[in-house]
């Protein structure tokens, strides 16, 4: 028997975007927040750098807009960029009201310390030391736990959205909620709500090497696409230039803020190299830095390059980068005296479900916010520290949109229970594990930082075989978290490969050997894929 739950608003994802939305709505509606792991686990928790906002008198809103548009390589929606930048200051003030403690400038108890990161022409990154995401996430989660109108469901993963129409692109189609798997009890549940919000983050785990936590499997994007949502710009996957290179470090990120404070990228012999690739050197946009590192590694046959901030004092490093300093020490690296070994890794999904400025998708009653959504803010390349800002700004705009619809009423629909009567329990899970590894490896090898048509077609061929195996397994056996995530990652891989094949140029984060130049003749266009047939 499937358990049923009904709320005014159903939010999938408990990161910065999901929790901000829940808190904005909690005084007006009953809200459920589903998280497939522990409530605080997600990319937000590990965001080190900070949040971009214009606070310095020497800075300006227009400068922030211009920097974002330039980093986006011609594909940013300027009205979206302007809206986001204009909302940034009030968003930061709201966070401070919630109790978020940002690092103060040592010269004044009234001023906050601002740092500078790649693509920014001014210091405009407000931060909480080098663990901003953790400070924001834990503060918001404590607030959510204390609110009577917010029900939190850890270890619940969405299976599929429930919609009123089964034909894609039906104008009368509406989202009614979702089916979810309770991972702890291995039972399915039905969550219904007149408003459903996808805030499940990005899809970095589609690649073998990623800075993302294990939960970043593109669930919301895949679920929305299967339900009929249009998806845009999935070829633009941002590879963070500097993840710690160590066999036991897994996915630990070395913040771009180090480069903002003067850290240099060097080869094994100590030779700096970024000046050869861009006038901004270490502070060039991330796509340029990642490709430069990738090129140097392949040119020399080296496993990594190095990031050196040892010219700064021990006191400065321990004050500004305590988390990174301690983490490196755990692996025998003293960053106050030696360079840190680093490699690029998949970091951010710039594409996603197409939404308007209020987070509404093209299915009524379904919103998407944060990394799950494509708002047009990032274009072909996200500028550093605009990601948490996007989560916050669009969570608030979605909340304003939802509040206008109050009181909410459910659409009349006969929602069937989840039917598992024709499937059986799998005797072993080795095929899921094998397919998971194969998918992530061929995506890294063929659809990574540098691409070609030959590599993309090879990846598509292998993906087709793998998807058939997943479909057969899904139809025959009881669902598990691993199976659901593998199914979602395969859909994400299809979206990335299809989008990459459609773009006949190199732009921003998408670089292909077959079309190494940016098309300057035709106006730049988003790559749009309609809902899955």
Helix, strand, or coil (residue 315): helix
CA nearest 441: which of 471, 468, 457, 463?
Answer: 463
pLDDT of residue 43: 65
Q: Is 360 exposed, middle or buried (0-12, 13-18, 19+ CB in 10 A)?
A: buried
Q: Is 309 exposed, middle or buried (0-12, 13-18, 19+ CB in 10 A)?
A: buried
pLDDT of residue 170: 58
Helix, strand, or coil (residue 320): helix
pTM attached to this predicted model: 0.89
**H/E stretch holding 431:** helix 430-446
- DSSP letters for 255-283: -THHHHTT-EEE-TTS-B-GGGT-TTGGG
The catalytic residue positions are 286
Instruction: Please identify every stretch of the chain with a pLDDT value under 50, giving residue numbers as ranges.
Output: 1
Tokens standing for residue 137: 């996430």
Domains of the chain: 1-133+143-236+350-407+429-533 (3.50.50.60), 243-347 (3.90.700.10)
The Cβ of residue 172 has, within 10 Å, a number of other Cβ atoms equal to 9
pLDDT of residue 329: 96
pLDDT tens digits, 108-165 = 667 888 988 878 899 999 998 878 888 999 999 999 999 999 999 999 999 999 998 7
Where b means 16+ CB within 10 Å and e means fewer, 485-507 reads bbbbbbbbbbbbbbbbbebebbb
How far, in whole angstroms, is CA 126 from its chain's centroid? 20
pLDDT of residue 1: 45
Residues 6+ apart with CB under 8 A from 107: none
pLDDT of residue 248: 81
Can you tell me the distance from the alpha carbon of 385 to that of 347, in angstroms, rounded to the nearest whole number? 12
Can you tell me the distance from the alpha carbon of 78 to that of 74, in angstroms, rounded to the nearest whole number? 10
pLDDT tens digits, 383-424 = 888 999 999 999 999 999 999 998 877 655 578 777 665 566
């Amino acid at each position: 028997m499937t358990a049923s739950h009904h709320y005014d608003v159903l939010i999938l994802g408990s990161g910065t975007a999901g929790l901000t939305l829940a808190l904005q709505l909690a005084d007006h509606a009953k809200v459920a927040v589903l998280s497939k792991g522990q409530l605080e686990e997600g990319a937000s928790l590990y965001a080190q750098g900070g949040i971009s906002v214009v606070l310095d008198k020497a800075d300006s809103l227009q400068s922030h807009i211009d920097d974002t548009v330039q980093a986006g390589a011609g594909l940013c929606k300027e009205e979206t960029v302007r809206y986001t930048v204009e909302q940034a200051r009030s968003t930061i003030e709201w966070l401070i009201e919630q109790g978020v403690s940002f690092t103060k400038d040592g010269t004044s108890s009234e001023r906050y310390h601002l740092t500078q990161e790649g693509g920014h022409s001014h210091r405009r990154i407000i931060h909480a030391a080098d663990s901003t995401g953790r400070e924001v996430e834990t503060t918001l989660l404590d607030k959510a736990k204390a609110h009577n109108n917010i029900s939190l469901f850890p270890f619940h993963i969405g299976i599929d959205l429930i919609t009123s129409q089964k034909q894609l692109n039906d104008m009368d189609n509406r989202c009614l909620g979702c089916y979810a798997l309770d991972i702890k009890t291995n039972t399915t549940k039905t969550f219904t709500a007149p408003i459903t919000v996808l805030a499940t983050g990005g899809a970095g785990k589609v690649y073998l090497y990623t800075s993302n936590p294990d939960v970043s499997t593109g669930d919301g994007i895949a679920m929305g696409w299967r339900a009929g949502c249009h998806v845009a710009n999935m070829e633009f996957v941002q590879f963070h230039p500097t993840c710690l290179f160590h066999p036991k470090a897994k996915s630990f990120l070395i913040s771009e803020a180090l480069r903002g404070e003067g850290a240099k990228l060097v080869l094994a012999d100590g030779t700096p190299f970024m000046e050869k690739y861009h006038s901004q050197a270490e502070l060039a946009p991330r796509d340029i830095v990642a490709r430069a590192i990738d090129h140097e590694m392949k040119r020399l046959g080296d496993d990594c390059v190095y990031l050196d901030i040892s010219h700064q004092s021990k006191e400065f490093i321990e004050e500004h980068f305590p988390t990174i300093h301690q983490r490196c020490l755990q692996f025998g690296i003293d960053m106050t005296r030696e360079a840190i070994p680093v490699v690029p890794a998949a970091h951010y999904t710039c594409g996603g479900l197409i939404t308007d400025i209020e987070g509404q998708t093209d299915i009524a009653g379904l919103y998407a916010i944060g990394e799950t959504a494509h708002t047009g803010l990032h274009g072909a390349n996200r500028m550093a520290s605009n990601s948490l800002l996007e989560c916050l700004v669009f969570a608030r705009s979605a909340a304003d949109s939802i509040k206008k619809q109050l009181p909410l009423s459910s659409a009349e629909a006969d929602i069937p229970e989840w039917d598992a009567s024709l499937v059986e329990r799998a005797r072993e899970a080795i095929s899921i594990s094998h397919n998971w590894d194969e998918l992530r490896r061929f995506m890294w090898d063929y659809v990574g930082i540098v691409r070609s048509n030959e590599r993309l077609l090879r990846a598509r061929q292998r993906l087709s075989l793998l998807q058939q195996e997943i479909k057969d397994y899904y139809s025959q056996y009881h669902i598990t978290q691993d199976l659901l995530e593998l199914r979602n990652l395969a859909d994400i891989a299809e979206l990335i490969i299809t989008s990459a094949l459609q773009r006949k140029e190199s732009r921003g984060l998408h670089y292909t050997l077959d079309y190494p130049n940016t098309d300057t003749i035709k106006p730049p266009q988003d790559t749009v894929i309609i809902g899955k047939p």
